[in-house]
Each structure stands twice: as C-alpha cells, then as structure tokens.
Amino acid sequence: MHLQAKRLSKLALSPVLMLLSMLGTAAWAEEAQRWQTNLTPGVTELGAKIYDLHMTVFWICVWIGVVVFGLMFYSILTHRKSLGAKPADFHESTSVEIAWTVVPFIILIVIAFPATKTLLEVYDTDDADLDVMITGYQWKWKYEYIDPNGDNVSFFSNLRTGKTEIYNEDAKGQHYLLEVDEPMVLPVNKKVRFLVTANDVIHAWWVPALAVKRDAIPGFINETWTKATQTGIYRGQCAELCGKDHGYMPIVVNVVEEAEYKNWLNEKKSQAAEIKALMSKNFSLDEQMAAGKEVYDKSCAACHGANGEGGVGKAIAKSPIATGALATHLDVGVNGVPGTAMQAFGGQINDVEMAAVITYQRNAFGNNMGDVVQPIDVYNFKQGK
Amino acid sequence: MSAHHGPAKGFTRWLTTTNHKDIGTMYLWFSFAMFILGGAFAMVIRAELFQPGIQIVDPEFFNQMTTMHGLVMVFGAIMPAFVGLANWLIPMMIGAPDMALPRMNNWSFWILPPTFLMLASTLFMDGGAPNYGWTFYAPLSTTYAPPSVTYFIFAIHLMGLSSIMGSINIIATVVNMRAPGMTYMKMPLFVWTWLITAFLLVAVMPVLAACVTMMLMDIHFGTSFFSAAGGGDPVLFQHIFWFFGHPEVYIIILPAFGVVSQIIPTFARKPLFGYDSMVYATASIAFLSFIVWVHHMYTVGIPVAGELFFMYATMLIAVPTGVKVFNWITTMWQGAMTFETPMLFCLGFVFLFTIGGFTGVMLSLAPVDFQYHDSYFVVAHFHYVMVAGAVFSMSAAVYYWLPKWTGKMYDEGMGKAHFWISFIGFNLTFFPQHFLGLAGMPRRIPDYALQFSDFNMMSSIGAFIYGASQLLFLFNVLRTILAGKPAPAEKAWEGAEGLEWTLPSPAPYHTFTTPPNVK
Ligand SMILES: [Cu+2]
C-alpha cells in the first residue's frame, strides 16, 4: 500500500512531467524544480538583476577557467618527461607578474560597478506600500501586517507536513516540507517592506523567487523589501541554523491581485474582531470543554498525550498544576516553563482559545475541578490584574 | 649511535619526547585519527541525507553531527596535520637541529588528545554534544545550548593554547635557527607560508579565546555580551567569531600553498616560478584576511557603507590568489613533468582549488550573496577550498615526504588509485552541491524537499566513495612503514631540491647538529 503510494508519487515526479513544467517559466520561478542547477531570476526586478550579475560573474569565471585550465592541461599533455621534454630554466619575469596582477584587478573593478549598483538597490527600503513584520520563532514564523491605524493583523505560519510523511510512514506530498498551515499573502506589484526580527535565536527568512534573505535577530529589527511582479505561490525556508527543527520552518508566500489581497486582509480583520467580541462573552462549562478539546488536540496533545497521560510534556491527568491554583496554571499556559519544551503559548493561541484549553485541562482526564475560565480572565491575567 | 642520542624506549619515548620528528609523527597520526572521526560524522550526515525524510538519526543528533564534523575537521584534523608537517620539515628545511622550544613543543601536542577526548565525550552527555554548528552563533550556543557547551568552551581554550604554543615555536625556530646563508628570501616556500600562518595564529587565536570566554560569562556569570535583552548584541558574537574565523581559513590554506609550491617544481623539474611574488602574495593574503570578515555576514544587516567596504576588500583577495595559481601553472610550463602520486594530488589541488576560488569571487559579491548565503552553494565552495585544498595537499605531502620520513617507498599504483578515487568521489560529492544551493537548499538541514533528492543522492554516493578511498590511503601508508621497499638513499625524487633531501633516508633521529652551509 505504502509502496504503491510511493511509486505513484514517483510517477508524478517523472522527469518528463518535470521537464514540461520547467518549460513554463512561471512554474520555474515558483519553487525549485527537480534537477534545477541554477539560481532562479525569480519574480522581482531586483531578483532578475541579481541573477544577471550572477550569470555575468559566472561566465567571466568560466572564460578565465577555460584559459587557465587550457594552459594547464596543454602543459600537462605536452611538457612531459615521457615525451622527451627538457625543462626550461626560466623562473621569473617581472612584466608577466605585473600583467597577471593588473589584469585581474581590472576585471574586478569592472564587476564592482554593477555589484555596487545592485547592492544599493537591495538596501533601498524607502517608499514601501506595505510593511510586514516577520518574527522568527523556534520553529515557526509570525507575520504581522502593520496597519497605519493600529489595526494590525498577525498570525503564525507553521509547517503543515505531517510527522508520518517525515518519518516515511506515508508517501511524501508534492510540497513536502515546503507547505504551511497559513501562508503570507502579499499584493502583486506593490513594494513590501519586511521588518525582520526573532523571538529566541537567530533565524533567516529566505524566499529565492522574491530575492529576499535577511537574518532575523532577537532584539534587533532588520529591514528588507520585495516587489513581486507575478502572482503565484513562492516557497522558501529558514536559512540560519536555529536548533532542532531548523529544517522544518518553511516559508510560503502567496502573491495575489490587489483586490484579492484586500479581501483576505479584511477577512483576517473581521476574524480578529470576532475574537474580540468573544472576549466579553461568558461561556458555560460545556461550551468551554468542547472548544477546549479542539485546542488541546491541536496544540497540546502532541506532548501531553490525547488522554492527558503525558509524553514529552508532563501528564495533565492529576497534574498538581492543573488541579492546583488557577493563576499558576494560567502562568504555565501563558508563559511556558523556561528551559523546557513547554513554550509560552500566550503569544501563539488567543485568549479565547487559552481560556477554553485551560478549562479543558482542569476538568478533563478526571481532574474535575469544576471551574470555568473565561477569556477575560486570561486577558486580566496577562495584564497582571 | 649511543643510547643518549637515540630515542627512549616504549611509551615514555612518545610521552616525554622533545624531538621534532617524534612530535611531528604524533601530530600526523593524531590528525589522521581525527580525520577518520570527523569523516565518520560526515558519513552519518550524508547517510541521513541520502533520501528525503528522517531515516537514520533524528534532527537533534543530526545537528550534533554537522557541528562535530566541522569542529573535528578544522581543529582536530587539518590544523594539527599542518603543524605535524611543520614539525617534521621546518628544521630539516632550514638546516636546524630541532625546533627552538622543544619542551613547549611536547606540550603543544600533548594538550590535544585529552582535549579532543573531552570534546568527543560530550556526545555521551545529557543533552548531547554541541549542536549549534562549528560557527556556534549566539544565542543558540549560549542561552539555548545543551549543558555540554561548557566542555566545548574549555576544549576551544585548550586548542587555542596548543595552537599558540605551536606557532610561537615555529616563529622562534624560523627567526633564530636558520643555517648560515639561509636568508629569508632563500627559505623554502613551505617555511615562508608557515611563518606567516604562525603570525596569523598568534594574532587570532586569542580573539577566539575571548569569544568563547564571553560565552562562558553569558552562560554562567549573568553577563549579556551576546544577549539583546541585557543590552548585548548577538551580532557582536559574529563579528568576533569571524575576526578569528576568516584568518582561520587562510591559516588552513597557506601551509597548503606552501606544500604545493614545494612539490610542483620537483615533478616539473624546474624551479618555482616567481618565488618573490609568491612570498609577497602570501603576505598580502594574510593582511587582507584581517579586513574581510564581514563577507561571512552580509545578511545580518550591516549598513551599506560597511557592506561595500568588505565587498571590495574581499574581491581584492582574488588578485594575490590568482598570482599563486598563475605561478604554479607557469612552473609546470615547459617543464619535464612526471606524474607520481604527490604530483597528481598537487594538480588536483590546483584545478579544484581554483574552482573554489571562482565560487569565492561569486560569493564575494554582496548582492548575489543574499541568494547564496547559508545555502549548499557555500558548503560546496568551502569544501572545494578545504578538502581539495588542504586535504589534497596533505595527501600530496605525505606521499612526497614519506620516503624521507620512513626510508621506505609507498606503492605507487595504490597511491594513484587513492588519488583517482578521491578525485572522483570528491567531485561527485561536492559538485552537485553547487546546484543544490543555487536551487535553494539551505545548509545544515536534516531533511529536504523532494526537488533536491537526486543531487543529494549523488552527493551521498560520492561521499561514501571519497570516505572509502581514505582507508586505501591508510593501508598504503601502513604497508609502506611495515613492508615498503627501501627508498633511494637521499633524493626520493629526481627533481627534488632543498636541505631535507641532503639527509639520508630515513632521516636520522637528530639531524643538522652542525649547521649545513647554504650557498
Ligand atoms: Cu529558523
């Protein structure tokens, strides 16, 4: 069964098909292709310039290589003792030495001009139409769309590929390791400025087709930019070693028409508004248990076990924290336990979800504490009230 | 020969020796052991990357492997290997009886085995071995590091100590112990490159020590040199590290240049072309190596003026490096070449190192480096200069001087087989990595997207071939020592020049107790 699935996926990736899709340049730009051997010019003007510079230097190197290696191999083939060659005895020549110091120097100056010009463009983050804050976390990205009126939209973008694919129990999908639960969405033909930072260790945000790579450094904000000229889905990865799951924090950027982007943004905003409305609502125990189970299964069960029996994380059933003071329990949920795998979930799930999951942990698995946590309790806890 | 002049018997001979040849031998065997260990780590890495998905080791252990591979190869294999060569050869090349500071010499070697034992033991500690890359960027290596980081810091301190002692010794020897008539501009190029390398080491090893000491303070004493939350700066770490790290790559390659500059003239039967310019080029490379470190960190957000400065300085390195390559090729030009194993490795060196130089020029261009940085393109680049550079030249050196060291001749056929298998394996491993990097595969990942499967599989197969070929090397060397045919009395090679070839083979325990006269 598995074998067959694997064979099917191999078929889907058969070279012929790949070759066909390589013929369409748009497909080429969107993500790396099988047997791809070169940089992508991508879908930005800057990326095309970088590509041109890359190719220029590449060809200069090739030609120098042809000359230098040509001489070397000519010498190897002809100046052999076995062919009766007698060694000449020259061993210096000032003019030759000067020539091969000066000529490379001039070639370098010639390369330096376009390199300087392109570099200045890479650094030109002025006049952006849109600002997006990118924050690297171990091991996911957070995107925050900066709104001039303070109505920011933010969300996390996690790897979507499942463990079963990674551990070879299921066939790997087409976008194996390059797929996320929620992509970044950007409008086409708009200059987007990225403000790049990190929450824990250094990461680097890299999307080849957008010609962007910038280090995400905790405590500092780096600026960079892109302007995609074609709609499409562009994929990349974290490029700076950031710990265990460095290989598992992909980037997916969905570039869409401006109208579509606006719709998406508005929808995101209304979702946020909905959550705001829920904040002041009072939920019953049953409601919280149902909502909490959903959050628990999605965000906590991987470490704490589907039945609260524990695993990577401690058991929740009969846990002294889940059956102890609410403030301590909230503290663990919101702030995590530093130095352990228990992360601070306060910034990752919203207050409505947090209230639900805490309620769930306090009442499920035989804990039966009977208390119901409301979103406002979480909010107040976070505000230090 | 009286007992007084010969070596002591048994293990004490090695433990207490102050003889440069004994110490050189120990350095060489130690570095080979580390080469095998680091190579084993590389085999684990390539085995895991043979196919997409996680098959053999989990991502956490994979990171330990990439880190330990880099650390062991750089600090345990390549650097001690060249120190071993220096120990054996510098006194014989300059007509000195021994190194200037023989007791310190003993220390600088004997620090290393316990150091690497300690480093390797971190693999069995709680939380595992260092897993933050051989470049150990903070805060991954401080706040987020496994507890073994303290042992790692101590190990780095000890390695630094050993290197500094070794370098001081080399400087003192070259400055004070040259035979009469051996002026600086008559020194063999290997001695020159090592002299300059030793100065680089003395200059930058303390910087590395400072760097890891600051880490230690951050981890255990509450400072925040590298933590923004306490007013520090993670990028400061990178500046300090690469201020050491860039000269470090020249520390590795300059002695290799020296080796190649000794060997090519021998087999071309023609003196080295442009000796003076070789010396000046080496010195300029050493100088430039101090002002290019930011090219390792183009993407951290350096202001554009700084970025431009470091880009121009980096591009400049191509000039003296080019001079060297041109000189080597002109040395071959109109020579009468033969192609014994050492020469093959040197030709492989010139060819592959130059390719690494080309990708180096490409990487020097900051705007394009925004695409190359931290991708497999970089991995390919530095293996072309480190493996085809340093390791190929080491193999060449061993084959070249083995007859002098042991008085026995290695098996030429097996040597040539070692070269060709290495050459094919090496290129099969690392050439496709250029493609992977350009297509967008980041370095240091345990698993990858399906598009990268084919080249990764090729690369892994190449790595297994390259790895296996080193066992052939070991076998050939052991066989030479135990059962090799006697080498010619003095000159093992028709075209060999230099004082070491005026000595009998094997070189006696003490040589040049009365200095030779150099015309
Ligand atoms: Cu990351």
pLDDT digits 0-9 by tens, B455-507: 999 999 999 999 999 999 999 999 999 998 998 878 889 889 999 999 998 99
Return the pLDDT at A278. 84
User: What would the two tokens of residue A382 be?
Assistant: 């976070």
Return the pLDDT at A18. 43
CA distance B464 to A57: 32
Return the pLDDT at A6. 42
Cα separations in angstroms, A87 against A159, A283, B34, B295, B326: 64, 95, 40, 42, 18
Nearest residue on chain A to B273, judged by CA atoms? A91
Q: Which amino acid is at A30?
A: E
Q: Mean pLDDT throughout B172-199? A: 95
Percentages of chain A per state (helix, strand, coil), in multiples of 5? 45, 15, 35
Mean pLDDT of chain A: 88
Q: What fold does the segment set A281-382 form as a domain?
A: Cytochrome Bc1 Complex; Chain D, domain 2 (1.10.760)
Return the pLDDT at A29. 56
CB half-sphere exposure, B324, CA atoms < 13 A: 30
Return the pLDDT at A35. 85
| Mutation site for B-interface testing, chosen from A6, A39, A226 by largest number of B Cβ within 10 Å | A39
| Model pLDDT for residues B288-303, shown as the tens digit of each residue | 999 999 999 999 999 9
A236 strand-pairing partners: A251
**What residues of chain A, 86 to 105, have a C-beta less than 8 Å from chain B?**
86-93, 96-97, 100-101, 104-105
| Model pLDDT for residues B231-242, shown as the tens digit of each residue | 999 999 999 999
A253 strand-pairing partners: A184, A234
| Model pLDDT for residues B385-433, shown as the tens digit of each residue | 999 999 999 999 999 999 999 999 999 999 999 999 999 999 999 999 9
Q: Are B347 and B329 in contact (CB under 8 A)?
A: no
Chain A residues with beta carbon closer than 8 angstroms to that of B235: 217, 220
At A161, phi and psi to the nearest 5? -60, 135
Return the pLDDT at A11. 40
Answer whether residue B202 shows pLDDT above 50.
Answer: yes
Task: Work out the angle between the directed axes of helices B234-268 and B341-364 (0-180°, nearest 10).
Answer: 140
DSSP A237: E
Q: Mean pLDDT throughout B82-110? A: 95
Q: Are B300 and B235 in contact (CB under 8 A)?
A: yes
Return the pLDDT at A78. 94
Q: E-assigned strands of chain A?
A: 130-137, 140-146, 153-157, 184-187, 192-198, 203-207, 212-216, 222-226, 232-238, 250-256
Banded model confidence at residue B48, pLDDT cuts 50, 70, 90: very high
Q: Decide if the complex's ipTM is over 0.95.
A: no
Answer whether residue B17 shows pLDDT above 80.
Answer: yes
Mean pLDDT of chain B: 94
Return the pLDDT at A115. 96
Contact B366 A115 (CB under 8 A): yes
Of the ranges A150-159, B5-14, B201-210, the best mean pLDDT one = B201-210
How many cross-chain Cβ pairs, A to B, lie less than 8 Å apart? 292
Q: Are A168 and B53 in contact (CB under 8 A)?
A: yes
* Cβ–Cβ contact A219 with B under 8 A: yes
In terms of C-beta density within 10 A (0-12 exposed, 13-18 middle, 19 or more buried), how is residue A160 classed? middle
Chain A residues with beta carbon closer than 8 angstroms to that of B442: 206, 237-239, 247
Return the pLDDT at A89. 84
- Rounded to the nearest angstrom, the distance between the alpha carbon of A180 and the centre of ligand 1 is 14
CA distance A123 to chain B (A): 7
Banded model confidence at residue B45, pLDDT cuts 50, 70, 90: very high
Q: Mean pLDDT throughout B69-81? A: 96
Answer whether residue B3 shows pLDDT above 50.
Answer: no
- Identify the CATH number of the domain defined by range B10-502: 1.20.210.10
Of residues A96, A215, A219, nearest to B300 (C-beta): A215
CA distance B162 to B31: 14
- What are the residue boundaries of the structural domains of chain A, listed by start? 2-122, 130-277, 281-382
- Give catalytic residue positions of B: 69, 98, 134, 162-163, 246, 248, 250, 261, 295-296, 321, 324, 443
Q: Which amino acid is at A3?
A: L
Q: Mean pLDDT throughout A317-324? A: 92
Q: Which amino acid is at B52?
A: P
Q: CATH: 2.60.120.10, 3.40.50.2300, 2.60.40.420, 2.20.25.90. Which one for A130-277?
A: 2.60.40.420
Answer whether residue B86 shows pLDDT above 80.
Answer: yes
* Cβ–Cβ contact A232 with B under 8 A: no
Return the pLDDT at A294. 92
Using the structure block, give the residue that is written with the tokens 């209304």: A270
Contact A166 B371 (CB under 8 A): no
| Model pLDDT for residues B252-310, shown as the tens digit of each residue | 999 999 999 999 999 999 999 999 999 999 999 999 999 999 999 999 999 999 999 99
CA distance A56 to chain B (A): 10
Q: A129-143, A302-316, A352-366 — which is least confidently predicted?
A: A302-316
Return the pLDDT at B405. 95
Contact B140 A79 (CB under 8 A): no
User: What would the two tokens of residue B274 be?
Assistant: 């442009």
| Model pLDDT for residues B338-383, shown as the tens digit of each residue | 999 999 999 999 999 999 999 999 999 999 999 999 999 999 999 9
Return the pLDDT at A349. 87
- Taking residue A301's Cβ as centre, other Cβ atoms within 10 Å add up to 17
Return the pLDDT at B190. 97
Q: Mean pLDDT throughout A67-78? A: 96
Return the pLDDT at A346. 83
Contact A177 B52 (CB under 8 A): yes
Answer whether residue B337 shows pLDDT above 70.
Answer: yes
- What are the residue boundaries of the structural domains of chain B, listed by start? 10-502
- Rounded to the nearest angstrom, the distance between the alpha carbon of A141 and the centre of ligand 1 is 8
Nearest residue on chain B to A212, judged by CA atoms? B370
* Cβ–Cβ contact A32 with B under 8 A: yes
DSSP code string of B110-163: HTHHHHHHHHHHGGGSTT-S--STTTT-TTTTTTT--TTHHHHHHHHHHHHHHH
Number of residues that this document lists for chain A = 385
In what order do the strands lie in the sheet containing A140-146?
A153-157, A140-146, A130-137, A192-198, A222-226
| Model pLDDT for residues B436-448, shown as the tens digit of each residue | 999 999 999 999 9
Chain A residues with beta carbon closer than 8 angstroms to that of B299: 204, 213-215
Return the pLDDT at B5. 61
The domain at A2-122 falls in which architecture? Orthogonal Bundle (1.10)
Return the pLDDT at A90. 87
DSSP code string of B203-260: HHHHHHHHHHHHHHHHHHS---SS-GGGT--HHHHHHHHHHHHHHHHHHHHHHHHHHH
CA distance A201 to chain B (A): 6
- Rounded to the nearest angstrom, the distance between the alpha carbon of B214 and the centre of ligand 1 is 24
Return the pLDDT at B4. 52
CA distance B351 to chain A (A): 7
Identify which of B434, B362, B316 has the alpha carbon closest to the alpha carbon of residue A54: B362
At B250, phi and psi to the nearest 5? -80, -30
Gyration radius of chain B over CA positions: 23
Q: Mean pLDDT throughout B39-59? A: 95
Of residues A32, A121, A246, nearest to B439 (C-beta): A32
* Cβ–Cβ contact A116 with B under 8 A: yes
Answer whether residue B226 shows pLDDT above 50.
Answer: yes
Q: Are A362 and A329 in contact (CB under 8 A)?
A: yes
| Model pLDDT for residues A260-308, shown as the tens digit of each residue | 999 999 999 988 888 888 888 889 999 999 999 999 988 898 889 889 9
Answer whether residue B167 shows pLDDT above 60.
Answer: yes
Q: A340-354, B24-38, B323-337 — which is least confidently predicted?
A: A340-354
Contact B370 A242 (CB under 8 A): no
Identify which of B205, B204, B177, B181 has the alpha carbon closest to the alpha carbon of residue B191: B177
| Mutation site for A-interface testing, chosen from B60, B368, B381 by largest number of A Cβ within 10 Å | B368
**What residues of chain A, 5 to 24, have a C-beta less than 8 Å from chain B?**
13
| Model pLDDT for residues A9-63, shown as the tens digit of each residue | 444 444 444 444 444 444 445 677 788 889 999 999 999 999 999 999 999 999 9
User: What would the two tokens of residue B411 be?
Assistant: 């098996």
Percent of chain B with pLDDT over 90: 90
CA distance A258 to chain B (A): 27
